[in-house]
Amino acid sequence: MTLIISDVTVIDGTGGVPRAGMDVLIADGRFADIRPSSTGISSTPAGEPVLDGHGGYLLPGLWESHTHLRDYGASLPEPERFAHLKDVLAGYLAEGITSVCDLGGMPELSPRLRDASKADAAVASLFTSEAVFTGIDGWPVTGLLGHRSGVMEVGSADDARRYLQGLSLDEVDYIKCMFDGKPGGGQRLPRAALEVIIAAAHEAGKKVLVHIATGMDMREAVHAGADCIEHSPIPQDPGDLSEADELAGLMADAGTLHCPTVATWEQLAYGAYPDYLDQLITDGILTQDGAKEITASPTYGQPFPKHPAQECRVRFEYAMRTLPLFHEANVKLVAGSDIARVMPTPARALLREMQLFAKAGVPSSAVIASATSRAAEKVGKQATTGTVAVGSVADAVLLDSDPVADLSPLIDQRHVRAVVSSGHVVHH
């Protein structure tokens, strides 16, 4: 099974200079060769399917690197959920998102769904971990009703060791730790336990993604060896950028990735206000009809447990002011949206996250990297996916205009000429 995408501009997803006039050969689901069109691979073996890339831009398929699929099938009867979630994964693919990382909450379904996604090019590839650690009564155990299942509550380093003995680390894509020291949120996972978990994961070659609430959590998690910090912090003083400055320096030195989930703070802060929906319409994330559907939903305007709108507003504004500072300090930013409560589709939440990075002042090539190569790096798969490079999984989006000049062709689906999933053209 081969395919040639001819005469296209290649954006490799690592922030490298785009290369115009390339032929991209795909074989057995991987990028097999990338070379100038003039060398004529498009005229090699007769009968090979050719996708005309002339005037187009080929970039890696996008990644949603932080979501919880449980939110999308929760109201359905159990037997219908699997098929529904496969449809959700197909929906991601239709909007150019070829990989999705679930960060926990659905132990009864996610391993089976992950296996099914890997076998089916018509849906986005799912990465999952149901290895989720938190403190005693820690987030989300007492915050989200019914989500105690699959979450390991740890009160000491010994507790962590006991749980780790019962886990088969080979079977998880990564580990998620809740290291949340927000007052009133139950106990924080003890730092000594976090260190034990990280050491065990690294020994098994797995990444540890650490949810934080405060700058203090973030600092300690980085020192403990976290691979990626999930969420931007609640600042000590919203007017003082020096806390972010210090954290950015620390993360850059340690090589820790950062997934700030600003689209979540924006939704929780402003989602109940009509101005927010108007802004999404102006920004091409939402249509008028989509806005009507959102406001008609029974959950619309409901507060999110333990995340007051005012606090999320502070968190959002601080993250938007300090994202360029993290970028300029060479912290590797990763795009992940976390929730899609006030969004027309789960995929749109990721596109909003990317758009917010750009609005904050992060250059588009870095925004594209945050949703492609950096996301693959977050889960330790950068050698085999997340880039347009020889040997990588052939997941890609073909656009009719340049997303490095301006991200808008990624947002406005009319600019998407094709989506390629494991070498198969799935939308054209």
Site residues for Zn ion per CB under 5 A: 103, 338
DSSP state letter for 173:
S
Closest residue by Cα to residue 98 from 366, 362, 375, 413: 375
Q: Contact 391/30 with Cβ under 8 angstroms?
A: yes
CA distance 267 to 262: 9
CB 316 → Zn ion: shortest distance, Å? 16
CB 368 → Zn ion: shortest distance, Å? 23
CB 305 → Zn ion: shortest distance, Å? 13
Our CB check for Zn ion shows the closer of 206 and 307 to be 307
Q: Contact 191/220 with Cβ under 8 angstroms?
A: yes
Our CB check for Zn ion shows the closer of 103 and 358 to be 103
Amino acid code (one letter) for 304? F
Amino acid code (one letter) for 147? H
Closest residue by Cα to residue 65 from 332, 295, 289, 321: 332
Our CB check for Zn ion shows the closer of 231 and 332 to be 231
Our CB check for Zn ion shows the closer of 338 and 395 to be 338
Which residues have C-beta within 8 Å of that of residue 204, sequence separation ≥ 6? 169, 170
Our CB check for Zn ion shows the closer of 103 and 269 to be 103
Closest residue by Cα to residue 85 from 95, 75, 9, 379: 75
CB 104 → Zn ion: shortest distance, Å? 8
Our CB check for Zn ion shows the closer of 71 and 395 to be 71
CA distance 99 to 97: 6
Our CB check for Zn ion shows the closer of 338 and 353 to be 338
Question: Which residue's Cβ has the minimum distance to Zn ion?
Answer: 338
CB 321 → Zn ion: shortest distance, Å? 23
CB 66 → Zn ion: shortest distance, Å? 6
The two three-digit tokens of residue 358, written as one number: 């750009």
Our CB check for Zn ion shows the closer of 23 and 338 to be 338
CB 338 → Zn ion: shortest distance, Å? 4
Our CB check for Zn ion shows the closer of 220 and 338 to be 338
CB 228 → Zn ion: shortest distance, Å? 12
What are 174's strand-pairing partners? 207
Our CB check for Zn ion shows the closer of 10 and 132 to be 132
- Tell me how long the chain is: 428
CB 140 → Zn ion: shortest distance, Å? 8
Cα separations in angstroms, 391 against 24, 31, 312, 379, 386: 12, 5, 41, 18, 11
DSSP state letter for 17:
P
The two three-digit tokens of residue 316, written as one number: 């959002």
Give the per-residue SS3 of 177-241. EEECCCCCCCCCCCHHHHHHHHHHHHHCCCEEEEEECEHHHHHHHHHHCCCEEECCCECCCCCCC
CA distance 428 to 420: 9
CB-count burial class (<10 Å; 0-12, 13-18, 19+) for 366: middle
CB 102 → Zn ion: shortest distance, Å? 9
Amino acid code (one letter) for 208? V
Our CB check for Zn ion shows the closer of 71 and 95 to be 71
CB 211 → Zn ion: shortest distance, Å? 7
CA distance 397 to 392: 14
**Helix pair angle (309-328, 242-254), 10° resolution:** 50
Q: How many CA atoms lie within 13 A of 68 on its CB side?
A: 19
